[in-house]
């Protein structure tokens, strides 16, 4: 599966990438809005892990742009702020598929990937 990881933290990108490394996935990385949009257009990933809090345009703005390009894109928002209701509401309205709360476990990432890979299960 093609997976795009969008996070301004190189550490978080590495962490998710390492969880996914044994799954025969093709991984792409982006550190901000512009890189994310470019990587999405070029690679058409099946799943995007998208950090909510980024410098410049944040995750919700990035989500909206990606959904403008392809409304069927699967996007999972990653945030350390579970109580930030406004962002959750905006993300759900914009079409986010799921949320994972930082710090997350490897199983959380794998579960999301499995859900996208096997939508009927």
Partner 1 sequence: MEEKETGQKVKLTSLELDALKEMGNIGTGNAATSLSKFINKNVDMNFPETKFVHVSKFSETVGGPEKMVVGIYLQISGEVHGEAMFLFPEKGAYELIDLILSKPLGTTKRMDDMDKSAFMELSNILTGSFLNALGNMLEAKILPSVPHVAADMAQTLLDFILIKISKCADTLLYVKTGVNVEGHKIDGEFTVLFDQDSLKKIISKMHDKYGLESPGA
Q: Is the dihedral of CA 77, 8, 103, 47 positive or negative?
A: positive
Is 83 a binding residue for partner 1 by CB under 8 A? The answer is: yes
Is 120 a binding residue for partner 1 by CB under 8 A? The answer is: no
Among 25, 35, 64, 84, binds partner 1 (CB under 8 A): 84
Is 93 a binding residue for partner 1 by CB under 8 A? The answer is: no
Is 10 a binding residue for partner 1 by CB under 8 A? The answer is: yes
Is 57 a binding residue for partner 1 by CB under 8 A? The answer is: no
Q: For helices 85-94 and 59-69, what crossing angle results, to 10°?
A: 10
60, 94 in Cβ contact below 8 A? yes
Among 24, 72, 85, 118, binds partner 1 (CB under 8 A): 85
Q: Which is nearer to partner 1, 55 or 119 (CB)?
A: 55
DSSP labels, 34-77: HHHHHHHHHH--SEEEEES--SSS-HHHHHHHHHHH-TT--EEE
Q: Which is nearer to partner 1, 44 or 105 (CB)?
A: 105
Query: How many residues contact partner 1, by CB under 8 A?
Result: 23
The closest of 63, 96, 55, 99 to 81, measured between CA atoms, is: 99
Beta bridge partners of 28: 4
Residues that bind partner 1 (CB under 8 A): 9-12, 14-15, 18, 21, 53-55, 58, 79-87, 102-103
């Amino acid at each position: 599966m093609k997976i795009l990881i969008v996070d301004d933290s190189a550490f978080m990108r590495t962490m998710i990438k390492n969880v996914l490394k044994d799954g025969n996935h093709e991984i792409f990385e982006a550190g901000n809005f512009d890189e994310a949009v470019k990587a999405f257009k070029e690679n058409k990933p099946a799943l995007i892990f998208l950090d909510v809090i980024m410098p410049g345009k944040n995750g919700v703005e990035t989500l909206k742009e990606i959904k403008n390009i392809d409304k069927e894109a699967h996007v999972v928002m990653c945030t350390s702020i579970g109580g930030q209701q406004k962002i959750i509401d905006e993300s759900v309205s914009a079409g986010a598929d799921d949320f994972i709360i930082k710090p997350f476990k490897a199983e959380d990432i794998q579960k999301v990937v499995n859900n996208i890979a096997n939508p009927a299960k």
